[in-house]
Structure 1
Amino acid sequence: MQAAENDEASGSRVAEVFRAFLHLGLTSFGGPIAHLGYFRDAFVVRRKWIDEAGYADLVALCQFLPGPASSQVGFSLGVLRGGGLAGGLAAWAGFTLPSAALLIAFAFCAAALDNPVGEGILHGLKLVAVAVVAQALWGMARTLTPDRQRIAIAMGALILASIVGGWLGQVGAIAAGAVAGLFLCRGEASPTSAHPAFPVSRRAGIVALVLFAVLLVAPPVLLAWTGSHVLAFFDAFYRSGALVFGGGHVVLPLLENAVAAPGWVPLQDFLAGYGAAQAVPGPLFTFAAYLGAVSGVVPNGLLGASLALIAIFLPGLLLVYGALPFWDHLRALPRAQAAMRGTNAAVVGILAAAFYDPVLTSAIVQPTDAVFGLGGLLLLVFARMPPWVVVILLAGAGAVM
């Protein structure tokens, strides 16, 4: 009898988690930083699922790990409130599915834009990408490179990512940034506080971390034997999700290298989808669903969208689930904090390289493009317009041009 009541209470909490995050998934515009503000208001201030200090600790953990920070925070809050993994998955589904569905619908309607007005709209969405990435780059540079040491690390990462290119240049820049941070970014350890009691055992955490590593290493090995394109497709999105440090916009160069460079998705469609992703609520990582749907090679359509969506989110969720039982000890280590400062600075350089190529080089083809791109940036930064408003304005301007 008692067990049945406990199961019923657990199921009720999981349903509560899904409803709360579905509402946020339908209304949370503005990107990952804005999402963290929405979460704080919903779950710290109003619902009191977690206190202020515990929430700050959780945000720090998710910023420390690669992956989509706001989705990782939401997943962890679902684990906390829902009593385990089911609650985390309910939170992720509620927050993610609305924007994924909208971007898949956009992918299926893209063929209707194969005319002069449609091409103008798609070009306007490329200009949205210019404005949004420029805003993200400026904001991240101010936060993550506040001193000469980290500016130098960012510049080194920019040069390395530009010269080497591809995922090797990006991963190399992140690794070099971590090493440089150990020597250049030492300082007083960040203050710590009590961590909330997440219902995740150390054994479950270890299993999640091992699974993360296996899925990162095994697909390239199996791919060499089998040549399976489905496996290559999964690996491209999983690896992109596993290597993202610093927020959702940083996934842009990784995905561009993974799907646009080999020709799976034409670059113009890639940038148009990235622009459209700014107009929907929820996490930016759902851009992967669009890419999976429009892929020119199988899997594509709804199957490709589903596989891409799961693959890109899976590494970040495995990492945060595995790290929750061990976070208190790790975050207190000064050397770990120094390495992360260097990594975050390197991310700024990687995003700067991606901002030039492919964003600027493919979107700015005439002087009026530069004017509209700068106008979109000014609307975002100084007029503080929501991104979806800028999307409508620049898409309309593209159609008129």
Structure 2
Amino acid sequence: MDPAATPDRSAWSIFLIFLRLGLTSFGGPIAHLGYFRQEFVSRRRWLSEQSYADLVALCQFLPGPGSSQVGMALGLSRCGYLGALAAWAGFTLPTAVVLILFALGISRYGDLLPAGVLHGLQVVAVAVVAQALWGMARTLCRGALRLLLMVLTAMLVLLIPTALGQIGAILLAGLVGLLLIKPAHLPAHEPLWPAIRARAGLCWLGLFVALLIALPLLRSLYPSQGLAMLDIFYRSSALVFGGGHVMLPLLQAELVPAGWISDEVFLAGYGATQAMPGPLFAFAAFIGASLNGPPNGWLGGLLGLVAIFLPSMLLVFAALPFWERLRRSQRSQAALAGINAAVVGLLLAALYDPLWTSAIRGPQDIALALLALVALMFLRVPPWLVVLASGVLGGVSSALF
């Protein structure tokens, strides 16, 4: 469907549309894709069902936050680069602003909260990641080889608990997938709208790679927490397949051992992020605002937000012109299948360390985590309500026991 055939083509109108979605889209990335489909395929008819499915496939193929990248691509198709920026800002800022305020509240008034409230948020993070792990494993780890890749990745990451170990495991799994996995026959598909020319796509890809190389070098030449934060957030986003849950172990391995943020605050913020609409990657705003030392506060939150989303936007711009060729490549799909299995292994390792080891301290915590998991998986209680209830129950439990 030709996007020019319908209205809503100004950056401001796109921002307002995505702002409403950013305020109301609870439920995580899969739910976000459902909201987008209802808004842009069924209601506004910006694109056909098949084109939307192809766009979702593209963004699942790329590292980074898939639902946010779908939004960026939709904005790009309507109003060029300004449209992509407007879609991202509208969808992301509501959650980011609330998380920065939450971080500032913890730093200034955390002592006023009952001791168990933050711990309750840590515990609910265990349930949220367990739910994500189950869903991703069912989809991405079908067959003995992929299950084995998942388990071996988790073991490797637990044995080598560094960013290098995690990245190495992902690369090895991609190589195994390329050599041993035979993907299913790829169905025919509609071409996406040619929003960007091939030459521009190569330029955006070059910028993506240049920053991936330059930021660590600048960090070593000019040591500062600001440059280090930009490097960590950019690299984590650039190398993460599977969305915000998978970002957790990468950021935790870099930030907590260095003393930039405590495990308690890190996991409490992660739990609070589950109660927010919008993308999970907005968790970076909470981390940036919570750092022990500048840049922190509002500046740190906004820098973290830009650094975590910049690779995703650059990759969308770079990939769109070449997506047709990648979609037809069996080799690309095989390598991605191995990488996806490794991503689930990363999540399995994170479920144990840091989540379980930091949050679960006794039988009451196990009971609360199981209760939250049942509420999420079987009772279909909205995540924001589960998070709120876990914080309250954590506070009550600390007062009684």
TM-score normalized by structure 1?
A: 0.95
Equivalent residue number for residue 202 of structure 1: 198
- Return 5+ residue gaps in structure 2 as ranges: 1-5
Kindly tell me: are residues 107 and 233 of structure 1, through their superposed partners in 2, closer, same or farther at Cα, counting changes over 3 Å? Answer: same
Equivalent residue number for residue 159 of structure 1: 155
Kindly tell me: are residues 382 and 183 of structure 1, through their superposed partners in 2, closer, same or farther at Cα, counting changes over 3 Å? Answer: same
Q: Is the Cα contact below 8 Å between 1:265 and 1:295 reproduced in 2?
A: yes
1:112 has 2:109 as partner: yes
Equivalent residue number for residue 243 of structure 2: 247
Measure, in 2, the Cα distance between the counterparts of 1:373 and 1:299: 34
Kindly tell me: are residues 351 and 340 of structure 1, through their superposed partners in 2, closer, same or farther at Cα, counting changes over 3 Å? Answer: same
For residues 140-193 of structure 1, the C-alpha deviation after alignment (integer angstroms, 9 at most, x for no partner) is 011100111110111111111111111111101110110111122113332131
Equivalent residue number for residue 379 of structure 2: 383
Kindly tell me: are residues 173 and 76 of structure 1, through their superposed partners in 2, closer, same or farther at Cα, counting changes over 3 Å? Answer: same
Equivalent residue number for residue 30 of structure 2: 33
Measure, in 2, the Cα distance between the counterparts of 1:324 and 1:18: 21
Alignment partner for residue 52 of structure 2, among 28, 39, 55? 55
Q: What is the 5 A alignment of 1:1-400?
A: 13-82=10-79, 84-110=80-106, 111-115=108-112, 117-400=113-396
Shift of 1:99: 0.3
1:86 is paired with a residue whose SS is: helix
Q: Is the Cα contact below 8 Å between 1:205 and 1:324 reproduced in 2?
A: yes
Q: Is the Cα contact below 8 Å between 1:189 and 1:337 reproduced in 2?
A: no
Shift of 1:125: 0.2
Kindly tell me: are residues 17 and 288 of structure 1, through their superposed partners in 2, closer, same or farther at Cα, counting changes over 3 Å? Answer: same
Q: Is the Cα contact below 8 Å between 2:127 and 2:372 reproduced in 1?
A: yes
1:227 is paired with a residue whose SS is: coil
Letter in 1 for 2:117: I
* Root-mean-square deviation (Å): 1.4
Q: Is the Cα contact below 8 Å between 1:189 and 1:333 reproduced in 2?
A: no
Measure, in 2, the Cα distance between the counterparts of 1:42 and 1:12: 15
- Return 5+ residue gaps in structure 1 as ranges: 1-8
For residues 333-361 of structure 1, the C-alpha deviation after alignment (integer angstroms, 9 at most, x for no partner) is 10110010110001111110011000000
For residues 32-89 of structure 1, the C-alpha deviation after alignment (integer angstroms, 9 at most, x for no partner) is 010001100000111011111111111111111100000000000000112x111000
Q: Is the Cα contact below 8 Å between 2:40 and 2:46 reproduced in 1?
A: yes
Q: Is the Cα contact below 8 Å between 1:192 and 1:332 reproduced in 2?
A: no
Measure, in 2, the Cα distance between the counterparts of 1:132 and 1:379: 10
Equivalent residue number for residue 5 of structure 1: none
Structure 1 runs of 4+ aligned residues shifted over 3 Å read 9-12
Measure, in 2, the Cα distance between the counterparts of 1:370 and 1:333: 45
2:10 is paired with a residue whose SS is: helix
Letter in 1 for 2:37: R
Moved more, 284-293 or 220-229: 220-229
1:114 is paired with a residue whose SS is: helix
Measure, in 2, the Cα distance between the counterparts of 1:227 and 1:13: 42
Q: Is the Cα contact below 8 Å between 2:219 and 2:231 reproduced in 1?
A: no
Q: Is the Cα contact below 8 Å between 2:195 and 2:320 reproduced in 1?
A: no
Measure, in 2, the Cα distance between the counterparts of 1:350 and 1:172: 11
Measure, in 2, the Cα distance between the counterparts of 1:305 and 1:11: 31
Shift of 1:12: 5.2
Q: Is the Cα contact below 8 Å between 2:27 and 2:383 reproduced in 1?
A: yes
Moved more, 344-353 or 183-192: 183-192
Measure, in 2, the Cα distance between the counterparts of 1:248 and 1:192: 30
Q: Is the Cα contact below 8 Å between 1:240 and 1:258 reproduced in 2?
A: no
Measure, in 1, the Cα distance between the counterparts of 2:156 and 2:72: 34
Number of aligned residues: 391
Shift of 1:102: 0.6
Q: Is the Cα contact below 8 Å between 1:181 and 1:342 reproduced in 2?
A: yes
Shift of 1:100: 0.3
Measure, in 2, the Cα distance between the counterparts of 1:14 and 1:172: 40
Measure, in 1, the Cα distance between the counterparts of 2:197 and 2:244: 29
For residues 228-274 of structure 1, the C-alpha deviation after alignment (integer angstroms, 9 at most, x for no partner) is 32211110111111111012211111111122221111110000000
Measure, in 2, the Cα distance between the counterparts of 1:185 and 1:11: 43
Measure, in 2, the Cα distance between the counterparts of 1:270 and 1:223: 23
Measure, in 1, the Cα distance between the counterparts of 2:316 and 2:188: 18
For residues 211-238 of structure 1, the C-alpha deviation after alignment (integer angstroms, 9 at most, x for no partner) is 1101100111122222232211110111
Letter in 1 for 2:359: A
Shift of 1:10: 9.8
